Structure 1
């Protein structure tokens, strides 16, 4: 089942499975990756209640071990549509017996989409319905379609800064860092950058990132408030993911305690967490 929202500039389509955005287009241009499984069969999954991979796909809580697969379970769940207008829609899932087996916390997750001129605003609302603290991560994973030659595209960050990133090895964070090179303030895209999987930025001053085509901006992701960012593609694939995150994968030295996990968010009993980012067509 899908839901469509639109305004005079944009049309967005969301699949109720995972509340996943699978189309954002103007009259002539589609901006979201088509999901060809030959490269990567998703479009823009939502990552919850973890971002990335746990060491051995396992964590401990109250002296019990639990299993959570990479990026969590929300992307595979069917969301309810709880509010709809012509240019907005809000979706929700809640904890169940199935989720409690892997994540023993009572929660509700709401994901909202709204169009404002040439911008799609995306909101996350996490509600802790437990009487205890709830550890969680949440993140976005939108893949943007890049037609033509991948090397004809560039990135420009909001601020002029040193772009220090961590790599992944066997889906876990490597603690050694590298610097993403720039030329005249632009990052020149090439597949070699992603030979070792995603680039993980733990600490960026920039809170927006633009994709340029032949040095002309055509899309910007604004992620004010998100502390971490991932950038990723598959070798020879015509897309790029720009991923605002609260949290990231374990390191090989992780002790498995979810409350002590790097980047984890702790939501107080009956607390509410809100965040938002936007995709802006330039």
Structure 2
């Protein structure tokens, strides 16, 4: 099933499977979300929960018991329930089940709300800890934006003047090796060799907005003020770019004895709620 929301400027479509945004068009029918062709990458904008990236050996320990989770967790592969709908907004819910508890031993509810406000799509996350103990989790976004034409005609404009320091991945895990990129007037020209070693993973970044520019024309802006971490990714010759606000990231190469001590993990107190938001603004 799919749900459509719209206003006078934008129309967004969301698949109930994964509560995944798969289309965002302006009133001239221009599409901004990657089409999801499996020839390159068969997703559009998956939700990453309760982990982000890769676990070492695809496993973690909690209370001395080993559990297994696939890359980016299970939310993106589960059916969400539409719990609230207006013309301009839709809220989806995923509730823990016998199956999720087998791999993630916590009782939770995950809500995703999509809402349109003029030229902006807001995406609100709400994680509800229904346990009487702390719940460790990560959550993040993975929107893929369509990049039609020559990839090298695109650039990213960062909010701040800064040197970009990103961590290199080894077999999907965060290493201690880093690279730095000097921006040119806050801009980073895009090319595929930037991503030959997988995603650019930023543990810290001063900028909280990134604008995609084609030639000299700004197309859209991703606003992620709430989020401490970020990934930027594409694959060789892929006609898309992912700008991924995160709370957390893949395992590091260092050991930890419980998921509660995993670097970047969030610890939600008993019977408490976690809320965060990011937005996609069409320019």
Report the counterpart of residue 174 of structure 2 in structure 1.
Answer: 173
CA contact (8 A) 2:163 2:180 kept: yes
Q: Structure 1 stretches of 5 or more lacking a match?
A: none
Secondary structure of the corresponding residue to residue 99 of structure 1: helix
- Paired residues, what number? 282
Q: Per-residue deviation at 1:185?
A: 2.5
Find out whether 1:194 has 2:206 as its counterpart: no
Secondary structure of the corresponding residue to residue 163 of structure 1: strand
Secondary structure of the corresponding residue to residue 192 of structure 1: helix
Q: Distance in 1 between matches of 2:184 and 2:158?
A: 12
Q: Distance in 2 between matches of 1:256 and 1:21?
A: 36
Q: Per-residue deviation at 1:174?
A: 1.4
TM-score in terms of structure 1 length:
0.99
Report the counterpart of residue 268 of structure 2 in structure 1.
Answer: 267
Find out whether 1:245 has 2:246 as its counterpart: yes
Q: Distance in 2 between matches of 1:123 and 1:255?
A: 31
Report the counterpart of residue 210 of structure 2 in structure 1.
Answer: 209
CA contact (8 A) 2:159 2:186 kept: no
Secondary structure of the corresponding residue to residue 151 of structure 1: helix
Q: Per-residue deviation at 1:256?
A: 4.7
Q: Distance in 2 between matches of 1:83 and 1:7?
A: 17
Q: Distance in 2 between matches of 1:130 and 1:28?
A: 45
Q: Per-residue deviation at 1:264?
A: 0.3
Report the counterpart of residue 229 of structure 1 in structure 2.
Answer: 230
Q: Per-residue deviation at 1:169?
A: 1.6
Q: Which residues in structure 2 correspond to 1:135-150 (within 5 Å)?
A: 135-150=136-151
Q: Per-residue deviation at 1:176?
A: 1.1
Secondary structure of the corresponding residue to residue 101 of structure 1: helix
CA contact (8 A) 2:161 2:185 kept: no
Find out whether 1:51 has 2:69 as its counterpart: no
Report the counterpart of residue 21 of structure 2 in structure 1.
Answer: 21
Report the counterpart of residue 11 of structure 2 in structure 1.
Answer: 11
Q: Distance in 2 between matches of 1:89 and 1:136?
A: 24
Q: Please provide the CA RMSD for this pair.
A: 0.8
Q: Structure 2 stretches of 5 or more lacking a match?
A: none
Q: After superposition, give the CA deviation of every residue in 1:69-127 in whole Å (9 maximum; x if it has no partner).
A: 10000000100000000010000010000000000000000000000000000000000
CA contact (8 A) 2:108 2:127 kept: yes
CA contact (8 A) 1:47 1:75 kept: yes
CA contact (8 A) 2:162 2:186 kept: no
TM-score in terms of structure 2 length:
0.98
Q: Distance in 1 between matches of 2:259 and 2:174?
A: 16
Which deviates the most, 60-69 or 251-260? Answer: 251-260
Find out whether 1:100 has 2:95 as its counterpart: no
Q: Distance in 1 between matches of 2:223 and 2:47?
A: 16
Secondary structure of the corresponding residue to residue 166 of structure 1: strand
Q: Which residues in structure 2 correspond to 1:48-197 (within 5 Å)?
A: 48-197=49-198
Q: Distance in 2 between matches of 1:111 and 1:13?
A: 14
Which deviates the most, 253-262 or 113-122? Answer: 253-262
